[in-house]
Amino acid sequence: MTATLDWYGCATYRLTIGDVVVFLDAYVDRVPGAAGPNPPVKADDIDRADWIVVGHSHFDHLWGAERIAARTGATIIGSHETVRVMEAAGVPLAQLMPVAGGERIELADGLFVSVYPSLHSCVWSHQGMHPVDEVCLGDLFVTHQERQDRMGDLFSYIATLGEDTRNHLRASAQGPRGDGHTLVFLFDTPEGSLLYQDTSGHWSGIVADLRPDVAIIAAAGRGNVDGEPIQGSLAQFVARQAALLKPARVILSHHDNWLPGFSIATDVEPIRTELARWLPRAELAEPGYLDGFEVFAGLRRG
């Protein structure tokens, strides 16, 4: 029962394990000019899915799940805010499974996913993505109210990025109340365990006990460590999280140029350098778009 990953861009992957298809996030449609599969794939093109797990409720993770669920009958697993947004979009409650962390869900015979609380990246701390090796300092102990004010400034800035982006934001505006509580997922499969994360934040005490064989780690924005922005670079954030998780293989997410003018294509080499320093035994794999990457093939454990 070989597990394969197909990357749709941003943080969205399709995980196929035998006959079971699980979407990891559901943001498939793109602004013209954004990175992604060529020719472009739309959420309306997806005709096979059994489950959709959603890390949080922002449009670049959740938008599209409502259409995939409608076409395939898939069940969406996500926060209570994700479920609220999806119900408002017309998804039947029978296809919605709200979770908050602490749940273990059977997806199929011998296939399980466990849900854990997590944190969103400190997107409020910047108006565009920094180079992956740029060291960012400060922004400590910023109150929630000030963070919310900065988020308003950020969305005002994104709205200036051009008509294509404005149209995209209007189409994807499903009315989430923030990120809706961020989650990470740990899949137990017959071949091994796989962690999935869709934004660059974590609770250190949680991830340190998970120990996946393979970890999909988000590499975008300012890393969030235990509620405060990392004092360092994004490359250091990824490597330090990997050192806590101790996987044999690391795969990145959210690291392409998914929203031109705001995001940038991530230079993977500084991450590779930091990973070699913090967890030298781990392999950094780089799946391409829709290339059927075999998750556990050739994995050196221990």
Here the CATH number for the domain that contains residue 46 is 3.60.15.10
Is residue 150 situated within a structural domain? yes
Q: How far apart are the C-alpha atoms of 79 and 212, rounded to whole Å?
A: 22
Is residue 301 a part of any domain in this protein?
Answer: no
Q: What is the pLDDT of residue 154?
A: 84
Tell me what pLDDT residue 76 has.
98
Range of the domain at 57: 3-294
Q: For residue 262, is it within any domain?
A: yes
Confidence (pLDDT) at 241 = 98
What is the pLDDT, as a whole number, of residue 302?
Answer: 63
Q: Which residues of the chain have pLDDT under 50?
A: none
Q: Residue 221: inside a domain, yes or no? A: yes
Within 10 A of 213 (CB to CB), how many other CB atoms are there? 20
In a domain, 290, yes or no: yes
pLDDT value at position 138? 95
Give residue 109's pLDDT: 96
Q: Which pLDDT value is given to residue 60?
A: 96
Say how far apart CA 91 and CA 287 lie, in whole Å.
31
The answer as to whether 299 is a domain residue is no
Determine the pLDDT at residue 286.
96
In a domain, 231, yes or no: yes
3-state secondary structure the chain: CCEEEEEEECCEEEEEECCEEEEECCCCCCCCCCCCCCCCCCHHHCCCCCEEECCCCCHHHHCCHHHHHHHHCCEEEECHHHHHHHHHCCCCHHHEEECCCCCEEEEECCEEEEEEECCCCCHHHCCCCCCCCCCECCCCCCCHHHHHHHHHHHHHHHCCCCHHHHHHHHHCCCCCCCCCCCEEEEEECCCCEEEECCCCEECHHHHCCCCCCEEEEECCCCCEECCEECCECHHHHHHHHHHHHCCCEEEEECCCCCCECCECCCCHHHHHHHHHHHCCCCEEECCCECCCEECCCCCCCC
pTM above 0.85, yes or no: yes
**Predicted pLDDT at 265:** 87
Residue 15 forms part of a structural domain: yes
H or E segment to which residue 238 belongs: helix 234-245
The domain total for the chain is 1
